Structure 1
């Protein structure tokens, strides 16, 4: 649940902190005071679109900070903590680590140029990570969500939430079937073209395989060819160098002229006075090292001279091999590695281009096997949806009766999607149905406002007030199936008044028994049910600061409800407001007990 959010330089809000509690929090205030910015701030905090127009005039950036309690007893909290860790952030572990709650800090910054930054658990992260976390932490409802409820895909998703339908296994089977069917059709329609392409690839692979290429072979051959073609010059150079190093003959009585002999003489002369002076001893040591290096170099040059020899026959063989490799490089790549890579890729392509009878039969078998599995799973999903549709429709109808729609009837139809020639068709229970990643069903929610009216789809016949009540009724019925801790409603009571408004407040209070519920409302009947009442005041400076966002209790709350009732603070309005609060308190259950330690912490 959310414990606190801080909003800075967002719209009319200059700097304000919104304290939140378990149960039902209502946010009220004059029109234009900044109530909507609270919802906008929550949307930003959980990955919503960064609109630079929302940055307060004169400010360079807007920011929203949130403190979230991850209650360990709720579903998905372990997954939330793991996702935070994957993003590089950290969750503050509360002590003792029993069944309490840990703390997650979130932050979103929007610059005036439209760019935004996000922070999760103290670490920078993409805004998409905030959105992912939001899916597990809260759900937001506003007038745009009412419009979304008119879409068939959203209506199917609502039913699936209630029914507990899991589409993952079916989606895997559907994807396998769709891909196998696509490959089979492609190979069937392009069999001749693919056969020609396969023949060309097979010819190239056979040519490369016949050459028995070795990685790096071209480099070694180039070096060998260069050495053999210059063998005489190399031998003469090495022999001359060896002579210069070890070419003298002291037996002739001539003074030695080679390097090695001269160094030997240096070592002998310095060795005669070894121990007489430390500095000269060090120079003698270096002379001995030089003599040893010269001697080693002379031996290696002698061995090289013995090895190097012009071999026209070997050179011819090397040049022939180089020609074979060069021809393959011209046809299949820029170098030998590229040729080998082309052959590897070609072998993989040949598998995809196999249009032999055996390969086509194997593909058809795979397609049919996947189709049978997908059809079986789709049938199970359809049955689950139909059973759940009756239960959900009956439950929502009961809720609507309590929301001052006493004669309304909600219906949810689940019908197999008729197949067309362009569709992917699964045979489910003997009937061909158009299949998609979400199954083979068309789900539609219909509303009959009163007995004399026909049942019509929500998108065609429901008013704004009716949509608000249908959405609220659905949320009440789905509360047990929804794992999120926090629900946010932005003027969900739009188009509602009178007794219906009281019933809206009552149902929001019922939701608040198992969820944290935050409601932005302009109706006193709804606000009376709040267990935490926040008032947004806009000061004369046309900005909302910390002092303008108040938690009201006692007489201050009565004054606020009186203002909402009639716009003026009169004795009659106060009496009415007091009665409304008393009635709401009598009907509401006490909120869940809040941990003292959590309530003492602030960002």
Structure 2
């Protein structure tokens, strides 16, 4: 809801503040006073195209500002915060400031929540904030998707449940079709991939590599490549420990035994020496064991000759071929093979998956047909009801021969929202062909059509604020009273702002704002000036303004009496709506 609009140097308005609120607010004034500048200011705040000619003569810029009150969960707040807006949180909602500045040179900028923003953000936020219906404004329900959404909301919970069921089924069907299409279009690629994997696995399986085999063989090959050096070192070490001939002197075994015996004679005299003697005995056994193993090692080297080294190098060559093709090591080759085997099983199972998906697709398609038919039936009933109600409203709005039509047409392909194309049409008079909204009707007629439609949809598909610019153009008398009634009815659900010249409409307002024009043609330069002011009227001022609108004589007692009667009748109706 728009709490307040502030305008500076826009058209004939120098500076004005429009205090708004819930319910119905009307803006009146003499022709040329600047009433439409209110709608122009709203247009700027909704991101519409800016015209530098709207800047007041002599001013550097025009400014339109609005304070908007929104519920805490409004998507408008979420989007504004994402754009960096500063929002004032209240106990029961939040307050958002919108500003549009238009320079005399034609430059335009927007401010949302105290932060500079692209004008496109105002357009985006405005779609969820305000619907403007005027002589030249775009229709809120111009797009087919918006018309369909409004009809579906009008259809109530039963239609909503049918739409959800259809949407869920369509989503499953679309997912199945996508997977099936991917499998079918990629069949040749999958076949080539499967053949490649099969050949690779056959090569790896034929080689029968073992975990870490490449590292094991590398170590063994290095050992056999230096067999003479290893044999010589082992023999020398064996001789040093326990050999019969050792040029450097006594062997280690002999020296250890000599030391042990030296202590053996006195070990009973000192426990510490006995411990040392025992440890020498253990060293002697350990040296003997190592000596024996060295002798065995040398013997084994004699049995492993060039033949074994050749076999190892041949095996290593086989393993290196696998490593070059598939992975940096044999362990990684084995891991690759395991993954490839799983992928091959998946590829070989695609034929069965294709058959399963084809069957599922047919089943879901049949289910969509049933759900789509149910949705069409509910929409047809809702469309008939909507058309009947809007047509009745049009008759009361001085369009007795007009007929509102909701047309359903089958789509070539099923869609997530069903298989129905939705079009809202107007048959302006008997014998004429129904045409899309916005075609074949004057601006005043179109505004009344939209008023009738919004009144019917108000309880199920509202936006927070509706603005009607001279919705009563071309009507008067009883029809004007009916327009006022319907605006009051709409205002029970949403905020309504109306620019009007009819007292029958203005009488239904919850608040009445008058635009007053002041002019002076006696300026020294001959140019003169015109300026307008905006005033919120009290009860007495309302009576005089209605009298002016009725008879052009705001001080006339007869006109004021008629104005008071209008107000009393309107207030009775408004009270009955509450």
TM tier, smaller: 0.5 to 0.7
Consecutive aligned runs of 4 or more in structure 1 exceeding 6 Å deviation: 202-211, 320-329, 541-545
Using the size of structure 1 for normalisation, the TM-score is: 0.59
Query: Is residue 2:50 matched to residue 1:51?
Result: yes
> Hey, what does 1:116 align to over in structure 2?
109
Report the Cα distance in structure 2 between the residues aligned to 1:59 and 1:172, rounded to whole angstroms.
57
Q: Decide which moves more: 502-511 or 485-494.
A: 485-494
> Hey, what does 2:508 align to over in structure 1?
529
The alpha-carbon distance between structure 1 residues 461 and 357, as it changes in their structure 2 partners (threshold 3 A), is same
Deviation string 1:509-558 (CA, Å, 9 cap, x unpaired) is 2222332210112333322322322223444489887x712223345444
- Offset at 1:438? 3.2
Report the Cα distance in structure 2 between the residues aligned to 1:584 and 1:206, rounded to whole angstroms.
91
The alpha-carbon distance between structure 1 residues 387 and 204, as it changes in their structure 2 partners (threshold 3 A), is same
What 5-or-longer segments of structure 1 have no aligned partner? 212-317, 330-343, 425-434, 593-603
- Offset at 1:477? 1.4
> Hey, what does 1:40 align to over in structure 2?
40
- Offset at 1:381? 2.6
> Hey, what does 1:105 align to over in structure 2?
96
> Hey, what does 1:245 align to over in structure 2?
none
- Offset at 1:35? 2.7
When Rg is computed on C-alpha atoms for both structures, the one with the higher figure is: 2
Q: Decide which moves more: 438-447 or 54-63.
A: 54-63
**Contact 1:195/1:355 (8 A) holds in 2:** no
**Contact 1:562/1:570 (8 A) holds in 2:** yes
- Offset at 1:25? 0.8
Equivalent runs, 1:449-468 vs 2, <5 Å: 453=431, 456-457=434-435, 462-468=441-447
**Contact 2:194/2:348 (8 A) holds in 1:** no
Report the Cα distance in structure 1 between the residues aligned to 2:37 and 2:28, rounded to whole angstroms.
12
> Hey, what does 1:551 align to over in structure 2?
536
- Offset at 1:20? 0.7
Report the Cα distance in structure 2 between the residues aligned to 1:151 and 1:82, rounded to whole angstroms.
24
> Hey, what does 2:571 align to over in structure 1?
588
Deviation string 1:407-443 (CA, Å, 9 cap, x unpaired) is 555443445x16xxxx32xxxxxxxxxx234322233
Report the Cα distance in structure 1 between the residues aligned to 2:142 and 2:89, rounded to whole angstroms.
42
Report the Cα distance in structure 2 between the residues aligned to 1:543 and 1:203, rounded to whole angstroms.
89
> Hey, what does 1:384 align to over in structure 2?
378
The alpha-carbon distance between structure 1 residues 437 and 116, as it changes in their structure 2 partners (threshold 3 A), is farther
> Hey, what does 2:155 align to over in structure 1?
163
Indicate which of 493, 503, 528 corresponds to 2:472: 493
Number of residues of Structure 1 aligned to a counterpart in Structure 2? 449
- What is the DSSP-based 3-state SS (H/G/I as helix, E as strand, rest coil) of the residue aligned with 1:440? strand
What 5-or-longer segments of structure 2 have no aligned partner? 205-315, 328-338, 520-526
CA RMSD of aligned residues (A): 5.1
The alpha-carbon distance between structure 1 residues 356 and 556, as it changes in their structure 2 partners (threshold 3 A), is same
Equivalent runs, 1:127-146 vs 2, <5 Å: 130-131=122-123, 133-144=125-136
- Offset at 1:480? 1.5
Deviation string 1:453-495 (CA, Å, 9 cap, x unpaired) is 4663455665544433322122111121134332221222233
Q: Decide which moves more: 139-148 or 480-489.
A: 139-148
- Offset at 1:136? 4.4
**Contact 1:533/1:552 (8 A) holds in 2:** yes
- Offset at 1:21? 2.6
Report the Cα distance in structure 2 between the residues aligned to 1:321 and 1:542, rounded to whole angstroms.
101
Using the size of structure 2 for normalisation, the TM-score is: 0.61
The alpha-carbon distance between structure 1 residues 93 and 146, as it changes in their structure 2 partners (threshold 3 A), is closer
